[in-house]
Amino acid sequence: MWVNFDELPLQSRVWVFQSNRIMTSSEQSSIDDAVKYFVQKWSTHGVHMLASHVLFHNCFVVIAADEQKQAASGCSIDSFTALFKAFGTQYNLSFFDRFSIAHKLGDEVVISDLDDFKQLIGDGRITPDTLVFNNLIEQRQDLFTKWELPLKESWQKRYL
Per-position DSSP letters for 28-63, written without gaps between them: HHHHHHHHHHHHHH-EETTEE--EEEEEETTTEEEE
pLDDT at 152 over 80: yes
**Do residues 56 and 111 lie in contact, with contact meaning Cβ atoms separated by under 8 Å?**
no
pTM of the shown model: 0.93
Amino acid at 86: A
Residue 43 bridge partners (DSSP) = 48
The predicted-structure confidence for 2-48, as pLDDT tens digits, reads as follows 999 999 999 999 999 999 999 999 999 999 999 999 999 988 888 88
Residue 30 buriedness (CB in 10 A; 0-12 / 13-18 / 19+): middle
DSSP string, 99-131: TEEEEEETTEEEEEEHHHHHHHHHTTSS-TTSE
pLDDT category of residue 53 using cuts at 50, 70 and 90: very high
6: CB partners within 8 A, 6+ apart: none
153/83 Cα distance (integer angstroms): 32
The predicted-structure confidence for 107-141, as pLDDT tens digits, reads as follows 999 999 999 999 999 999 999 999 999 999 999 99
User: Between residues 70 and 136, which one has the greater pLDDT?
Assistant: 136
